[in-house]
Each structure stands twice: as structure tokens, then as C-alpha cells.
Structure 1
């Protein structure tokens, strides 16, 4: 079951999406959640009041040091090693990690 998303989280997600639109990033849905994609590759998504980002090792380590950040488990009881969940309280860094995710997955 997907966690509920607040209006504040949606507003921050919309800002991230708008900031990446010129790079060809589009909105979509994957794994039952709103996501951002480049081509067919997902780079970020909304999960409750948090955003998830697919990150390479160095940005991933920095992200995991943020308060409340953790490896993403979409509810199957298994963490996804390249994906980090960053809570709404740290939304000020969402654009930075969205850019890092875009660089990581872009063709």
C-alpha cells in the first residue's frame, strides 16, 4: 500500500519536475508511484512525503547521511541498493539529488 502524500510534498515534487523538464525529464508512473523518467528510465519518484532517487555511490552516501534518509524499500521487505528515500523535511536538497540521478541514468 502506498503511503499518503501531502500537498506540501506534491508542491516540492512539482518544483523538481519543472526544474528537469528542459532536460527532457517527463512525469510518469512506475511501481504504483508518480515518478520522473528520462526515456524509459526512472530517476526519481514520490513515496509518501518523500522522494526517492536512483544514485551512484558517492551521492548516495551523502544522501544517506541526511536526517531521515534511508535506502528505499517499496514495501517488499527488500531495500533497493541504488535508491535513497529523502524525506520532505530535507526537500531543499531534492533538486540537487534529482540532477545527480538524471546524470546517473541518462542515456
Structure 2
């Protein structure tokens, strides 16, 4: 399955969760306009055909250490501590649900 199709399936799965806004539901075209949000905060997005999620920095480091993903760089030349580019073989729904729970708790 292509990354865009995997992300569309993920959106369909999570869109009914409380507070979740699917991509395109809000006006605008800037950063985050094509992302899954909870209560207005991004928790998962498709960037360069890869799933990117927001998790605690320690969890991001752990997932990188076991080969489940890579650091996410937003084009500024240095990785963002709480963002993970998820590997293609990793369970996207599980890590996206983990990100949803993390971002929901922060609100």
C-alpha cells in the first residue's frame, strides 16, 4: 500500500476519536493543514511520503534506537526532539494512537 493510502486509512480510523480533526477540515494551506490534529494540535502528519508523529522525547529516542524510525527535521538542519519519522515497516496505527494520547494529555 502506498504511503498516501496508508495515511488515508489512518485518518479514516482516527477521525471519529474525540477532539480529532482530519486533514483539510480547517481553512488554510500552511504547516499542519494536511495533518491529523487533536484539539487544534498536530499529532500525526504525512511528510515526504512518511508518517511523522509527536511523542515524548524519550520515546522518540527509544523508537530510533530500535530502528522503528528516524529523527524528524523540519528543514532547519537539526532534529526536533519530540517528533519521529516512522519507519515504513512500523505499525502506523499503533504509533499514531500513542501520539494522539500524548498530545491529548498535554492539552
Q: Name the one with the larger helix percent.
A: 1
Structure 2: gaps (5+ residues):
24-28
Q: Which runs of 4+ in 1 moved over 3 A?
A: none
Cα deviation 1:58-78 (Å, max 9, x = unaligned)? 5424431235x2110011112
Give the alignment's Cα RMSD to 1 decimal.
2.2
Q: Name the SS for the 1:103 alignment partner.
A: helix
2:1 aligned with 1:26, yes or no?
A: no
Task: With the length of structure 2 as denominator, give the TM-score of the two structures.
Answer: 0.77
**Cα offset for 1:42?**
0.3
Task: With the length of structure 1 as denominator, give the TM-score of the two structures.
Answer: 0.77
Partner of 1:8: 2
Corresponding residue pairs, total: 98
